[in-house]
Structure formats: structure tokens, C-alpha cells
Amino acid sequence: MFFHVKELQYTAKPSKPDPVYAKKLQEVLGGQYGEISVMMQYLFQGWNCRGEKKYRDMLLDIGTEEIAHVEMLATMIAQLLDKAPVEEQEDAAKDPIIASVMGGMNPQHAIVNGLGASPNDSVGFPWTARYTIASGNLLADFRANLNAESQGRLQVVRLYEMTDDPGVRDMLSFLIARDSYHQNQWAAAIAELEEKEGIVVPSTFNREYEKSDVAYTFMNCSEGTESQQGRWASGPSMDGLGQFTYEAKPVGTGQAPELSPAPGYIHGTPTTKKQ
């Protein structure tokens, strides 16, 4: 059961309207790494969690917090669109300089959403559940969560640099700080699971079934040998079960990919000249 608290988690109040920036802000609301994505990802990971109760509780804690972030961003976007009706934009557009700025507004904010936010990204692509990951393997999922928070924080930091509005920057500074914590949170949870399971997912698969001779080999499949200088090319493997090696000129050991002709009912390309 969820309860809504009327106050926002943090202040979301711009100093002035800016419909162009409202369009940009849609990316961290409804984009691939936006707040809707992490909200849904964490909630479904929590609802589907079959592991220790602490992980389920933690996932639902952070997933619910992300609902608050969605609300903050939607509120901010709506206020950035305040006092920016279509008529004023059309009048302003008579000035070519202003027109070049106002021309960047998302027209759907006025036409479809009534000067409000929408579950879309900054170019109007609708949010999709395909952005989310909830595999049932917590280590795999937590690594995806760390990536999502890393990409999300990167985008919010870039948006911070794109505005000088003190009110917008104040809210973004809060979101940036929470993304900092969430990266630390997922890193801690990952380290805890890796200590119990090892670093290779899934840990439950019998590794005797792997082709062990290629399990720790870096294959140089492009020009240049600079990649040989990396930690991944020599020394103990990260799971502690092998030694990294570098294969400068990997050679394929499989068969030539020659396929038999398709049967006639497929109507593929004929292999013989038609009589």
C-alpha cells in the first residue's frame, strides 16, 4: 500500500518560466535513464524479490523515493511552462532572436499536456518498460541499478550546466546528491553479494561446463595492441580463479558458415539458373 504526502521531498520551484528548458528536463523524467525508469525498475525488483527481506525492503524504499523524484520533476516542468501560453510565444516569435529560443519548446507541452509534464523523453519518445531490468538475480540487477544511477547522475549534471536558474539548480543539486548516495548504495550492495557469491553471474552455474581455455583470455580483435596494457590482459583474474592472458592474433576454430539452400516453398534466391 502506498500513501501520498502532499509536500514534495524537496523544493521544485524555478525562478522564471523557461519552456525550452522544460523540454530538456523531460529527458531525466521519461528518458532511458530517467526517474520513471529507475522508479519502475526498483519497484519491480522489490516486488519480485525472493531473497533476503532486507533486499526487498531496500528496493521498495528506494523505488518509493524515486516516485517522489518523478513528482518533483513533473512539478518543476509544469512551473517552467507557467505563463508561457502559445499566444505569448507567437507574439515573442515576431522577434527573430526570441523566436530562435522559443522555437525549441516542445509543442505537446501546450497541445497535449496543457502546460504539464508527460512520460516522454526530451525528443518526445514515449517512456517504455523496455528500459527496465528486473531479472530475479539480485547481483545482476544491482549492477544494472548502479549503471542507471551513473548514467542518470551524468545527465542531471549536464542539465545543471545548461541552466543558470537558481531554483532549478537548487532542485537538481538535491537530485545529484541523491544519485551520489544511490551509486554508493548499489556499490555497497554489490560488494556484499560478491563477497557471498563471487563476481561472475550466475554463481549457481557449474563452471566445469564452460570452455575453460577461453574463460580468461582477452582476444585482440581489432588493429593495434594498446589494449594489452590493461588490467584485463594479464595477471590474476578478478574472480581469483584464473590468470588473464592476451591473444594477439586470435584464430577461429569453428566451421565455415556455409548454409544449405532453402526449400522451394521459402522462395529464397535461386542457386541455379532458371531454364
Give me the pLDDT at residue 109, please. 85
Give me the pLDDT at residue 175, please. 98
Residues 6+ apart with CB under 8 A from 4: none
Residue from 54, 82, 65, 220 nearest 138 by CA: 54
129 in the same domain as 222 = no
34 in the same domain as 137 = yes
Edge to edge, the sheet with strand 243-247 lists: 217-219, 243-247, 235-236
C-alpha cell at 11: 523544493
178 in the same domain as 129 = yes
Does any domain span residue 185? yes
pLDDT along the chain (275 residues), means of 10: 94 94 96 98 97 94 97 96 65 54 73 87 95 97 98 98 97 98 98 95 89 92 94 95 94 90 89 73
Give me the pLDDT at residue 111, please. 76
216 in the same domain as 144 = no
Q: Which amino acid is at 14?
A: P
211 in the same domain as 193 = no
Last residue of one domain, picked from the residues 173, 197, 221: 197
236 in the same domain as 108 = no
Does any domain span residue 112? yes
Residue-by-residue DSSP string for 132-146: ----S-HHHHHHHHH
Give me the pLDDT at residue 74, please. 98
CB atoms within 10 A of CB 145: 25
Cα-based distances in Å from 51 to 75, 194, 201, 256: 36, 15, 16, 45
223 in the same domain as 127 = no
104 in the same domain as 235 = no
212 in the same domain as 193 = no
In the block, cell 527573430 appears at 96
In the block, cell 547481483 appears at 139
Helices marked H in the chain — which ranges? 19-25, 27-30, 35-47, 53-80, 86-92, 96-102, 107-111, 138-161, 166-197
With beta carbons less than 8 A apart as the criterion, state whether 25 and 74 touch.
no
Does any domain span residue 144? yes
111 in the same domain as 150 = yes
Range of the domain at 136: 19-197
The b/e string for 167-186 (b: 16+ C-beta within 10 A; e otherwise) is bbbebbebbbebbeebbebb
Give me the pLDDT at residue 182, please. 98
User: Burial of 42 by CB count in 10 Å (0-12 exposed, 13-18 middle, 19+ buried)?
Assistant: buried
Does any domain span residue 10? no
Give me the pLDDT at residue 93, please. 54
